[in-house]
A and B are shown apart, each in its own frame.
Chain A
């Protein structure tokens, strides 16, 4: 069974429970669910100029990784090969928690995201995607005449 990174701590668990309860009361979630505990785990944030997406995809070969942006929908897809041996070999698998196989996660970007200015870097198993916001949408100070 695949388990995402999980904090094993009473207080962290309580935080998680609280979040889950909050989510249960969220009556209009995204149509794509934006479910937690998917692979890769995602952190999303933004600055006034960019939207920053961090996908935690350790051990994913860069060649299999596919990032696409279509009509405001950012999709991260790829495949992670399992190091586990096939069933015939004489080995014992004691713990099997890591994700294996193909994955695809999608998220909707805000309207001001510029599809022409997307930058993706993979380092130490973290995919960092930076999407620039359109200049027209950036906050401007309006001078008063």
Chain B
């Protein structure tokens, strides 16, 4: 069964050799962990985007593709020598394919403490309806 929101890998065409370190990482991004919860009226998505401020968050919906792109703006002191790194990139990116009963016009987003909360309601016609059963 197909999920309503599916993960897709960003598989952009890559060119250049491995020695070109900068271009090698230029479109590399971390995949933020998410929670996706569906209720009767829509889908709620939570994404961990630590260090991301509102200005650096870019949400994009085009036809049925939702793209979350963000950049964390950590200010590190001058002359910092890194000893241990678990978060090695400052960019986040994740793409989801939406399904057609979702109303992309009415998406609302909140960003608080590095967590994005995205609410995608279902279109009116897709809301659950109780179907009366007639007794013949």
Tell whether, in the assembled complex, residue B48 and residue A58 are in contact, meaning their CB atoms are under 8 Å apart.
yes
Stretch at the interface among B58-66, B72-80, B101-109: B72-80
Q: Bound complex: CA of A36 vs CA of B78, how far in Å?
A: 26
Q: How many residues on chain A are close to B (CB under 8 Å)? A: 53
Q: Report the nearest A residue to B115, measured CB to CB.
A: A59
Contact residues of A between 25 and 67, Cβ < 8 Å to B: 34, 36-37, 40-48, 50, 52, 54, 56-61
Residues of A within 8 A of B9 (CB): 8
Residues of chain B contacted by A7 (CB below 8 angstroms): 28-31, 88-89
Chain B's interface size range is 35 or more
Answer whether residue B120 sits at the interface, using C-beta atoms and an 8 A cutoff.
no
Q: Are B37 and A124 in contact (CB under 8 A)?
A: no
Take A5-B30, A58-B49, A125-B50 as given contacts and tell me if A95 and B5 are in contact as well, using a CB distance cutoff of 8 Å.
yes
Q: Does B18 contact A (CB under 8 A)?
A: yes
- Indicate whether B133 reaches chain A with its CB closer than 8 angstroms: no
The answer to whether B38 touches A47 (Cβ under 8 A) is no
26 A-B interface contacts by CB (under 8 A)? A5-B32, A5-B48, A5-B87, A6-B31, A6-B33, A7-B30, A7-B89, A9-B29, A43-B86, A44-B84, A45-B82, A47-B78, A47-B80, A54-B87, A56-B51, A59-B48, A59-B112, A59-B114, A83-B37, A91-B39, A93-B36, A94-B4, A95-B34, A124-B52, A125-B114, A126-B72
Known: A8-B9, A93-B37. 8 other contacts (CB 8 A): A4-B86, A42-B86, A50-B77, A60-B113, A83-B37, A90-B40, A95-B5, A124-B51
